[in-house]
Amino acid sequence: MDARTPNIEETRFLPAVAQAIAEWFGPMLENPDGTARVVAVSDVDITMENVPTLPLVLVAFTQSLGEQLLRSSSEEFKITDTFVVDFWLKPDRIKSKVTGKETPYWNYYPYEFIRNRLINGFLNFTGPNGEHVAYRGMRVEADPLAARLTFTFIATFQWCLSDVPVEMDLISEIGFRLCTPASCIPEPECPEQDDEQCDPCK
């Protein structure tokens, strides 16, 4: 089946890529409740503490390069972002046909199928900022935690000075996580914080 062109409303690049991949692979990457197992993240390292239910796909940036001129404040220039699509699969070992016991070798994973579907999908994909995506490589790793198929792509677009204000998503999110909840901020006219009647968190 050819990769479908998804109806993407996301305005951020990596979350839009994650939505597209969920469309291209359909039920193969869905939870029982129908939600997709494709997530845009900042880090794709795997440890004993963060092994999720498999399979899972993580999408993350690895590098961003710009071609802005050094001697002038260019208001338009090309940016090339490198990102990876990391497939985490169940780490199965090949079993001996003679003894039925596990061998030291990992199973063969269908990287051609996954790679072809990703490349086919990105042929018709345009990101929220006009990004065009090209395939650059793949590597395979396996250990007792997970088998990882990592596909590297670049996204190229023309950055332009815009009058549209940039939403402060990051600052708002950090503020939400670090600030005391509003319901726990004492009233200014209540000086005695040890008084249970004055402490809204008690």
Query: Is residue 70 over pLDDT 80?
Result: no
Strands 76-89 and 147-160: antiparallel
- Residue 46, pLDDT score: 61
The 3-class secondary structure across 87-116, one letter per residue, is EEECCCEEECCCCCCEEEEECCCCHHHHHH
Query: Is residue 157 over pLDDT 90?
Result: yes
Query: Is residue 5 over pLDDT 60?
Result: no
- Percent of the chain at pLDDT > 90 equals 34
Q: Which fold has domain 13-166?
A: STM4215-like (3.30.2000)
pLDDT, one tens digit per residue, over 162-200 is 745 555 555 555 444 444 444 444 444 454 545 555 444
N-to-C CA span, the chain: 58
- Residue 200, pLDDT score: 44
Query: What number is the average pLDDT over the span 144-164?
Result: 86
Please, are residues 146 and 121 in contact by the beta-carbon 8 Å criterion? Answer: no
Residue the block writes with tokens 């990101």: 127
Closest of 135, 123, 87 to residue 3, by C-alpha:
123
Query: What number is the average pLDDT over the span 55-77?
Result: 86
Residue the block writes with tokens 């004993």: 48
- Residue 22, pLDDT score: 93
- Residue 48, pLDDT score: 59
Query: Is residue 24 over pLDDT 90?
Result: yes
As annotated, the residues of the chain forming the CATH 3.30.2000.10 domain(s) are 13-166
